[in-house]
DNA sequence: GGGTTTTGTTAACCACGTGTGAAACGTTTC
DNA sequence: GAAACGTTTCACACGTGGTTAACAAAACCC
């Protein structure tokens, strides 16, 4: 039997270290939080999971790391996020990027219990590997998207934006929300950026499916076929 | 679309109740924690999940309930356990009985975030905040409105005005009030603006439902079906 | 390091929502 | 029944907000 190695970013100290000891798994500490470091440290049989302390380094970087880990060819196990209380709101609409979270100040028992819980449950839970909405299929592992069977050649940002919209169908997002959730920064200047990316996406969706991304005037954009049938499915 | 109902055992008070409100799901409270009560309360389309306060009643009973819920023919959604800190150890080797847990003292934000997280990961679009009044349904996330099941195609201002009126049914607003509350500025000039928007709304509500917005002569407008019997229920 | 792709910005253009005034209509009052 | 008042309806002009294309900057790849 091999030893479980769990990725730990960016550090493994205090209660976090204790929790690892109690649980009996070995941490691999990637201090930089960069993907190449993560890959370099990886044991031959892969990581059993990941603990990312989003309270310990820039939140956006943490989110990006999650995204990258999810998209890797070799999937890492369950991702556990450590956050401060004030960061809870930032988790909204990002539910797919992590499998569990712990709110600081971090308690050893809780950390250990969650670690054990997720590691044990790993395998039973399939992380929704794909999105299907109105002819659009997005494979979250291969980074590929098809519309009505035709492969769309999307760039990174296009993919992320489309994914975000498609995972929350029918819901309207303001440009500011999109900027903060997809781009991950606080709106310096260009809200028009969103418009342009939407335009590019619509172009790649093709004439026929361009309407999948709808403009809600004075509000923002939403994904989804029109609910024009009178079934009132709000 | 149906409303998500989440089983709540054995009570739904304080932070737990708040978390349900924030998340926008409806609790079904089974005070006894017995399976027959759970079944009796079950909506036709089943539970979207379960919140079981193991700190609130005998721990073994809570575990038994979890087991029963898991083994039912009709599976309940994700099970979230509420525990006290000293109970953490008791969770070991029972990882398969629940999907998430929260450690007391219970924090509204954390509870809500976990609830949302699990419901979403279970593929459950958690229900949006909405307004329902006399056949009118307004979904505040999708910016859609339906009247008697038919989708109304509202513009921004129309939506905002209708929303304001519908959130305060039966209450009469002067044009000035509407201008300041909905438009947000201090009435330079056109009170006729309100009239016109009301007209457009009535048109989109359709012949049959136009009366939902009522004119109160020399005063203003109000939303609501007629209380034409003289029961004076104001 | 040069070329290519991706990403963000700026500005012109266009469409649609919105507000306005005036006329038609209805209701109340003398 | 006519005058006074309030509401509804209509047509039109203006401006906000969205789309589009072209450009600049940055990242990426040999």
Total Cβ atoms within 10 A of residue A63 = 20
Q: What is the CA radius of gyration of chain B?
A: 23
Chain B positions touching A105 (Cβ under 8 A) are none
What 8-state DSSP symbol labels residue B191? S
Mean pLDDT, chain B, whole residue set:
88
Which segments in chain A show pLDDT lower than 50? 228-234
Q: C28 C1' – B198 CA distance, angstroms?
A: 23
| Minimum-distance nucleotide, CA of A159 to C1' | C6
Q: Which pLDDT tens digit goes with each residue over B198-224?
A: 999 999 999 889 889 999 988 899 998
Task: Name the 3-class secondary structure at B151.
Answer: strand
Q: Which residues pair with B221 in a beta bridge?
A: B173, B215
When pLDDT is cut at 50, 70 and 90, the band that residue B164 belongs to is: very high
Question: Under a CB-based contact definition with an 8 Å cutoff, are residues B131 and B138 in contact?
Answer: yes
pTM of the predicted model, to two decimals? 0.85
Q: Which tokens sit at A51? A: 């603990």
Mean pLDDT score, B76-100: 93
SS3 category, B223: strand
Residue A227, pLDDT score: 53
Strand partners, A50: A7, A79
For residue B183, give the DSSP letter: I
Distance in Å, residue A219 CA to nucleotide D18 C1': 11
B149: region left, alpha or beta (phi > 0 left; psi from -120 to 50 alpha): left
Which of B15-19, B32-36, B195-199 is predicted with the least confidence, judged by mean pLDDT?
Answer: B32-36
* Residue closest to A101 by CA, chosen among A52, A60, A58, A57: A52
Q: For the domain with range B130-223, which CATH number is right: 3.40.50.300, 1.10.3720.10, 1.10.10.10, 2.30.42.10?
A: 1.10.10.10
Q: Is residue B9 pLDDT above 80, yes or no?
A: yes
Nearest C-alpha of chain B: how many angstroms from A123? 12
Q: What is the pLDDT of residue B122?
A: 85
Mean pLDDT of B153-180: 92
Q: Among A110, A121, A218, select the one facing B95 at the smallest CB separation.
A: A121
- In degrees and rounded to multiples of 5, residue A106 shows phi and psi of -80, 130
Nearest nt to the A156 alpha carbon by C1': C6
CA separation (Å) from B182 to A34, B144, B156?
Answer: 48, 18, 11
A85, A120, A172 ranked by CB distance to B143: nearest: A172
Which residue would you say has higher pLDDT here, B15 or A225? B15
Q: Which of A171, A60, A98 is nearest to B118 (CA)?
A: A98
Would you state the pLDDT for residue A32?
A: 83
Per-domain residue ranges of chain B: 5-121, 130-223
| Nearest Cα residue to B185 out of B152, B163, B157, B222 | B157
Does the pLDDT value for residue B107 go beyond 70? Answer: yes
The whole-number average pLDDT for the span B23-32 is: 91
The spacing between the Cα labelled CA in A90 and the C1' in D23, in angstroms, equals 35
Verify if strand C has an atom below 7 Å from the CB of B99: no
Query: What does the pLDDT look like over B185-201, one tens digit per residue?
Result: 666 667 788 999 999 99
Return the pLDDT at B234: 38
Listed as ranges, the nucleotides of chain C within 7 A of a protein C-beta are: 5-11, 16-22, 27-28
| Assigned CATH topology for domain A5-121 | Rossmann fold (3.40.50)
Q: What is the DSSP string of chain A?
A: -PPPEEEEES---HHHHHHHHHHT-EEEE-SS--HHHHHHH--TT--SEEEEETTTS-HHHHHHHHHHHHHSSS----EEEEE-GGGGGGGTT-GGG-SEEEESSPPHHHHHHHHHHHHHHBTTBPP--EEEETTEEEETTTTEEEETTEEE---HHHHHHHHHHHHSTT--B-HHHHIIIII-S---S-SHHHHHHHHHHHHHH-TTTGGGEEEETTTEEEES----STT---
Q: DSSP states of B48-84 as a string?
A: SEEEEETTTS-HHHHHHHHHHHHHSSS--S-EEEEE-
The mean pLDDT of B226-234, rounded to a whole number, is 43
Of B88, B113, B149, which has the smallest distance from its Cβ to A230's Cβ? B149
Half-sphere exposure of A103 (CA within 13 A, CB side): 21
Instruction: Name the minimum distance, in Å, from the CA of A36 to any CA of chain B.
Output: 29
Please name which of A140, A111, A115, A110 lies closest in space to residue A126, comparing C-alpha atoms: A140
pLDDT at residue A51, as a whole number: 95
Query: Residue B30: pLDDT above 80?
Result: yes
* pLDDT score at B58: 86
pLDDT at A130: 77
Q: How far B149 CA lies from chain A's nearest CA (Å)?
A: 4
Rounded distance between C-alpha atoms, residue A1 and residue A18, angstroms: 23
């Amino acid at each position: 039997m091999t030893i479980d190695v769990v990725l730990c970013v960016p550090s493994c100290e205090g209660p976090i270290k204790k929790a690892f000891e109690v649980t009996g798994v070995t941490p691999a500490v990637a201090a930089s939080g960069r993907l190449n470091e993560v890959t370099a440290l990886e044991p031959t049989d892969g990581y059993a999971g990941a603990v990312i302390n989003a309270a310990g380094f820039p939140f956006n970087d943490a989110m990006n790391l999650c995204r990258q880990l999810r998209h890797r060819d070799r999937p890492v196990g369950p991702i556990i996020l450590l956050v401060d209380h004030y960061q809870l709101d930032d988790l909204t609409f990002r539910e797919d990027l992590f499998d569990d979270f712990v709110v600081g100040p971090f308690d050893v028992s809780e950390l250990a219990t969650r670690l054990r819980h997720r590691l044990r449950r790993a395998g039973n839970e399939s992380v929704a590997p794909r999105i299907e909405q109105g002819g659009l299929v997005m494979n979250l592992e291969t980074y590929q998207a098809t519309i009505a069977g035709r492969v769309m050649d999307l760039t990174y940002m296009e993919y992320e934006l489309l994914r975000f919209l498609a995972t929350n169908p029918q819901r309207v997002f303001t440009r500011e929300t999109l900027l903060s959730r997809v781009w991950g920064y606080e709106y310096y200047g260009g809200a028009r950026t969103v418009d342009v990316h939407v335009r590019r996406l619509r172009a790649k969706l093709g004439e026929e499916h361009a309407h999948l991304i709808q403009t809600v005037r004075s509000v923002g954009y939403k994904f989804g076929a029109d609910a024009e049938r009178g079934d009132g499915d709000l």
